[in-house]
Amino acid sequence: MKILVINAGSSSLKYQLINMEDESVIAKGNCDRIGIDGHIKHTTFDGRVIDTDCTFPTHTEAFEKLVEVLTTGEGKVIDSMSEISAVGHRIVQGAEIFSKTTLVTDEVIQQIDDLSELAPVHNHPHALALRACKKVIPETTPQVVVFDTAFHQTMPEKAFMFGMPYECYEKYHVRKYGFHGTSHRFVTQALAEALGKPLSELKIVSCHLGNGSSITAVDGGKSVDTSMGFTPLDGVIMGTRSGCVDPSAVTFIENKKHLSPSEMSDYLNKKSGFLGISGISSDNRDITAAAQHGDKKAQLAGEMLRYEIKKYIGSYAAVMNGLDAVLFTGGIGENSDDLRADVCRDMEFFGIKLDEAANAGLRGKLQRISAPDSKVEVWVVPTNEELLIARDTRDLVGNL
């Protein structure tokens, strides 16, 4: 069985074609600059690469090009699209409507589009891509949607509500939704397998740390709280996003700098975080390098992230009444051994003791990094959201 996984943005269409027999990637790439001009980069399992400019006025032309490169010419990996059993799409916001992976119908696409107000940057492009995909793939090929928010729909009301008037929730659907759900679900399952224990018996704090970062308390396989909120802006400090701030600071700066609400939103989403504190870069590698050269603001940005992660681990252990494992994933979590060491330092109180040697230099590999006598296991678990989307898609269409 072959599954095509799609992650569509407003100007891009990332894809992976996965062979479900051995879960290997047959081909992957990105149709980029949709609505601007157009570019495709396509790589096959055996190393063939297509890297060329195109014309992509809309997502439909990008899908047409994707079909062309998969089935013809230099990048060909299948004879026809009918070899693809199903298409799985990543969708950012499913709100309270979608608590699980769902088969696509016209009504589902419309519901995803209707949720655009809650995720303006993501959901409308997702709907455009779903409609374009429908035009291009065979009518008999099922499409499936996997939501970033779905995993967090198990959070209790006391965790997802904000202390604002109740009408904000009732009338405007303002609440914590949480994001990165597909990643947190994938890595916690992978960790349970590695530990050889049922996920239903584990209390895990899952730290997904990348350009965007979120930390989730997973109790018995269910998300009970998470650091991102109504949007992916909340929680720990990120590449360009502020993370949690006192809301009064937002209105104060809005007034001081005479910013409109959307300008203020840009300020918090694109100019804050590592970039805003350091004035150097949003990228953890640049921040680490500058910090090592003595840059005080870069050092501060790194210290803030480490401090905030510690606070989440502590509060989520309290919420779950225990902690079996902490895991690190995402570009920073999987690769930054110094950050992992700093976070785990002085955590003996929680039963966390790092194996410094196991941690040092470890990048992108599933491995325990806690000492044998650590009460809490600490692991690096590489994430693979595309694979989970493909597995979900297979499971859903397999039951049709």
Provide, rounded to whole angstroms, the least separation between the CB of residue 329 and ligand ADP.
Answer: 8
Q: Which is nearer to ligand ADP, 334 or 377 (CB)?
A: 334
Are 112 and 123 in contact by the 8 Å Cβ rule? The answer is: yes
What does the alpha-carbon distance between residue 316 and residue 27 come to, in Å, rounded to a whole number? 39
Q: Which is nearer to ligand ADP, 205 or 207 (CB)?
A: 207
Provide, rounded to whole angstroms, the least separation between the CB of residue 212 and ligand ADP.
Answer: 4
Provide, rounded to whole angstroms, the least separation between the CB of residue 288 and ligand ADP.
Answer: 6
**Closest listed residue to residue 253, CA positions, set 241, 268, 238, 239:** 268
- Helix (H) or strand (E) segment spanning residue 25: strand 24-32
Q: In what order do the strands lie in the sheet with 39-44?
A: 49-53, 39-44, 24-32, 13-19, 2-8, 84-91, 143-147, 102-103
Number of residues written out for the chain: 400
Annotated catalytic, 106? Answer: no
Q: Does 68 bind ligand ADP (CB under 6 A)?
A: no
Q: Which is nearer to ligand ADP, 39 or 208 (CB)?
A: 208
Residue span 207-236 as binding mask against ligand ADP, x where in contact by CB under 6 A, dash where not: ---xxx------------------------
Provide, rounded to whole angstroms, the least separation between the CB of residue 99 and ligand ADP.
Answer: 24
Provide, rounded to whole angstroms, the least separation between the CB of residue 181 and ligand ADP.
Answer: 14
Give Cβ neighbours of residue 351 (< 8 Å, ≥ 6 apart).
323, 374, 375, 376
Q: Does 360 bind ligand ADP (CB under 6 A)?
A: no
Q: Which is nearer to ligand ADP, 278 or 393 (CB)?
A: 278
Are 217 and 224 in contact by the 8 Å Cβ rule? The answer is: yes
Comparing every residue's Cβ against ligand ADP, the nearest one is: 331
Are 58 and 34 in contact by the 8 Å Cβ rule? The answer is: yes
- Burial string for 174-194 (b: 16+ CB within 10 Å, else e) reads bbbbbbbbbbbbbbbbbbbeb
Q: Does 239 bind ligand ADP (CB under 6 A)?
A: yes
Q: Would you give the end-to-end CA distance of the chain in angstroms?
A: 15
Q: Does 285 bind ligand ADP (CB under 6 A)?
A: yes
DSSP result, 146-178:
EETTGGGGGS-HHHH--SS-THHHHHH--S---
**Whole-number Cα distances in Å, 2 to 80, 156, 157:** 12, 37, 39
Are 145 and 102 in contact by the 8 Å Cβ rule? The answer is: yes
Q: How many residues bind ligand ADP (CB under 6 A)?
A: 13
Which residue out of 32, 148, 219, 225 is catalytically annotated? 148
Provide, rounded to whole angstroms, the least separation between the CB of residue 339 and ligand ADP.
Answer: 8
Q: Does 182 bind ligand ADP (CB under 6 A)?
A: no
- Burial string for 29-41 (b: 16+ CB within 10 Å, else e) reads bbbbbbeeebbbe
Residue span 158-177 as binding mask against ligand ADP, x where in contact by CB under 6 A, dash where not: --------------------
Q: Which is nearer to ligand ADP, 12 or 141 (CB)?
A: 12
Point out which span in 91-99, 121-129, 248-256, 282-290 binds ligand ADP (CB under 6 A): 282-290
Q: Which is nearer to ligand ADP, 266 or 286 (CB)?
A: 286
Query: In a 3-state reduction of DSSP, which class is residue 74?
Result: helix
Residue span 309-338 as binding mask against ligand ADP, x where in contact by CB under 6 A, dash where not: ---------------------xxx--xx--
Are 305 and 244 in contact by the 8 Å Cβ rule? The answer is: no
Q: Does 284 bind ligand ADP (CB under 6 A)?
A: yes
Active site residues: 148
Residues that bind ligand ADP (CB under 6 A): 210-212, 239, 283-285, 330-332, 335-336, 363
